Amino acid sequence: MSSTAVQAPIFPSFAQVFQGLVGQIGQLRQMAPTPTLPEATRVRRAIATLIAETNADEAVWLESCIRCGQCTSACHYFQATGDTKYAPLRKMNLYRRVYQREIGPFRWWYRLVTRPIGLKDLEALQELVYDSCSECGRCTMVCPMGIDIASLVHHQRSALVAAELVPPELAALQMEQKQRGTVFGASAEALHRMVDTIRERAGVAIPLDKARAEVMVLSSAVDLVGNGNGLLATARVMNHLGVDWTICSDGFESANFGLLSGDMALWKRQVDPIVAAAKRIGAKTLVIAECGHAYPALRWNPTLKGEDLPFEMMYMSEYLGRQAKAGRLRLRPLQGRVTYHDPCKTGRRGGAFDEPRAVLRAMQADFVELPANKEFNWCCGGGAGIFLLERTTRLRDESFKIKMRQVDMTGAEAVVVSCASCRLNFEAGRHKNQWNKRVESLVELVAAHLLDDAPQGAQSPIEEAAA
Amino acid sequence: MTLLDFARGPAIHWSLIIFAAGTIWRLLGVLILTRGADLSRPRDAFGNFKGYRTVFSRAWPSGEFTTATRYQTVMAYTFHIATLIVVIGIVPHIEFIKSLTGATWPGLPNAAGVAVGIIALVSLLALILRRVTKPAVYCSTWGDYFAWLVVAAPLVTGLMTFAHIGPRYETMLGLHILSAALLFAWFPFSKLMHAFWFVFSRAQSGLAYAHRGVRI
């Protein structure tokens, strides 16, 4: 079993992709924008953002913490370091201070007894809401009050966007996506080039920019600038299924550095063209590439009214799972024992639990669950953009050891992931620890195990598969 | 006016007024805020209602966290239940409640009352001991310690009054009632409000996750 079933490798292996990407990430730091606004304005904007984003939900959560400390047992960054500053309950403190001074029912009192927020406070907040919280939500699983700390952290990221305090690597990508509409230079031209390469060298056709299609598939920057195998595998699987599919060059990017950085305006700006393209081509299904945060960015986007959308959005693992359940994926058996890592954004914070497991079952895999799985899964340590931040290296490395122990306990030879960000972080951890496990992408694994005598050409519409 | 008269009269009455008004003010101040709408299509059409289960299911930690939470969960439950039994179960409290509301019920034997009071106090001590010895985990504020003192004081003074320890009975009873008054008056401004928030907080998270098909 190899991660790609091509005879002669057309694209570099994921390990090589990872090495290349590390170099590119290094350059991001030099490209990061520097703050332009006066200090007082930045502070004012951060506070205004928090006020604007605080509804009753946030207020109740901020009011509810009793500092019982249970959340620390669930947080990989705290467990890996034992450092009190990474305790999840601390990650709400600044937000609570703003809330108590500006919105809370006793604000007149808190304005008397608490210090106003200054730029120093916001600078210190960076480490708590970017570096040491992957918004994985595991703390919510143990909190006796059920506080959704991850969402409170995300509001604080938005506040730091307003205060021009996004960490350099994320800020550079946020700026690139805002100004040029690309991530790592993954433009429409890059997509065209990749589609041509795949057609010429692998002999696999990708129907690009069809006027009408049942299924619209997204790609991601990681696939376009590095891991061509990802897009190749996707194309193989879609062609195998024989569905009427396309990729739209005016809406193909899954990655959303608006959501990752906390820039809500950019989030929307990235989502709109995808929705417009899907509507234009009459898509019934939008398949989101294996890019974890793209799932909440699109599928769980609270501003996209689900009832009004003429198409259904699903993650790659969900799509594959539904096809597998419907018996449309004809797969060779998978050799060796495997386990599955639920990406936080598609698992605990997304609910796509059954489908990836259905795919592994369809491959008759010797599948073992991680000791903590599904909604209790430990984060890989690199989610929510943390993989990109150089200064989080120690936190990532230490917390990844929890993940390694979990995988080791299963006795599996390979861990299957369905998120490019998790995969990169696993690859980094595997490399550093000379770990003897393979890390596989679900879609690439499926592509490598297709029984290719399946009929090509149009089959029944995809709604039936979903039904 | 003796200390006991003051405690039984204006102190306890005003503290109850502050308790009621403060609690209503704080609850309303939060609950009248608008709620953000999640327009995305739920995973199951009626799945969101399952989220309300979290209000009850979160009463006990999931097996995943048993080791980390066992001590605190057991002690916290012991404390809450023992305190409740003492508050509504011993004869002097029933007499007091009767004087306010007219309602009455049979009380516990004195020895049982003392025993349960001691259990409550010991579990409360066990909780603060853990908080003090693990500062990295609890990230305590002065409010945490003050709330502990405010809760411990009625238990300590109550047991002393009951057992005739310390100053003469009337003074001790006055101090006990004053400490209860402090508890009532401090309640709406402190984390003791979790007695109300937990319902809303758990329900919100339960609903938000159920929307995505996740049972928390």
Contact B212 A351 (CB under 8 A): yes
Q: Does residue A18 surpass a pLDDT of 80?
A: yes
Q: Does residue A457 surpass a pLDDT of 70?
A: no
Residues near B162 by beta carbon (within 8 Å), at least 6 away in sequence:
B90, B92, B110, B113, B114, B117
- The pLDDT assigned to B10 comes to 96
pLDDT band at B93 (very low <50, low <70, confident <90, very high): very high
Query: What is the CA A458 to chain-centroid distance, rounded?
Result: 32
- The pLDDT assigned to A26 comes to 87
- The pLDDT assigned to A4 comes to 47
Nearest residue in chain A measured CA to CA from B189: A106
Burial of B164 (0-12, 13-18, 19+ CB in 10 A): exposed
- The pLDDT assigned to A210 comes to 97
CA distance A346 to chain B (A): 10
Own/partner pairs, B84-91, CB within 8 angstroms, 24+ separation: B85/B116, B86/B113, B86/B116, B86/B117, B86/B120, B86/B155, B86/B158, B89/B113, B89/B116, B90/B117, B90/B162
Nearest residue in chain B measured CA to CA from A71: B137
Entry pTM? 0.93
Write down the ipTM of this complex: 0.96
CB contacts, 8 Å: B25 with chain A: 105
Contact B136 A68 (CB under 8 A): no
Residues near A44 by beta carbon (within 8 Å), at least 6 away in sequence:
none
pLDDT band at A453 (very low <50, low <70, confident <90, very high): low
Rounded to an integer, the average pLDDT of A132-153 is 97
Nearest to A306 among B29, B31, B39 (CB): B39
Three-state SS string across chain B, please? CCHHHHHHHHHHHHHHHHHHHHHHHHHHHHHCCCCCCCCCCCCCCCHHHHHHHHHHHCCCCCHHHHHHHHHHHHHHHHHHHHHHHHHHHCHHHHHHHHHHHCCCCCCCCHHHHHHHHHHHHHHHHHHHHHHHHCHHHHCCCHHHHHHHHHHHHHHHHHHHHHCCCCCCHHHHHHHHHHHHHHHHHHHHHCHHHHHHHHHHHHHHHHHHHHHCCCCC
- The pLDDT assigned to A7 comes to 56
CB contacts, 8 Å: B38 with chain A: 300, 302
Residues of chain A with pLDDT > 70, as a percent, come to 95
Among A10-14, A50-54, A136-140, A280-284, name the one with the lowest average pLDDT: A10-14
Contact A67 B204 (CB under 8 A): no
Mean of all residue pLDDT scores within chain A: 93
CA distance B77 to chain A (A): 12
- The pLDDT assigned to B44 comes to 87
Contact B62 A141 (CB under 8 A): yes
> What domains are there in chain B, each with its CATH number?
3-22+42-211 (1.20.950.20)
Rounded to an integer, the average pLDDT of B137-150 is 97
Q: Does residue A456 surpass a pLDDT of 50?
A: no
Q: Does residue A339 surpass a pLDDT of 80?
A: yes
Contact B139 A104 (CB under 8 A): no
- The pLDDT assigned to A293 comes to 94
CB contacts, 8 Å: A110 with chain B: none
pLDDT band at B152 (very low <50, low <70, confident <90, very high): very high
Contact B65 A73 (CB under 8 A): yes
- The pLDDT assigned to A9 comes to 82
Q: Does residue B56 surpass a pLDDT of 90?
A: yes
Contact A105 B28 (CB under 8 A): yes
Q: pLDDT per residue over A190-245, tens digit each?
A: 999 999 999 999 999 999 999 999 999 999 998 998 899 999 999 999 999 999 99
- The pLDDT assigned to A8 comes to 67
Q: How many CB atoms lie within 10 A of CB B76?
A: 18
CA distance B172 to chain A (A): 31
- Do residues A162 and A156 make contact, with C-beta atoms less than 8 angstroms apart? no
Task: List, as one string, the DSSP characters of A74-101.
Answer: T-HHHHHH--GGG-GGGGGHHHHHHHHH
Tell me the two tokens of residue A71. 């959340």
- The pLDDT assigned to A432 comes to 94
Contact B65 A350 (CB under 8 A): no
Residues A210 and A249: their CA atoms lie apart, in Å, by 10
Nearest to A87 among B137, B193, B201 (CB): B137
Tell me the two tokens of residue A8. 């002669």
Rounded to an integer, the average pLDDT of B138-153 is 97
Nearest residue in chain B measured CA to CA from A307: B41
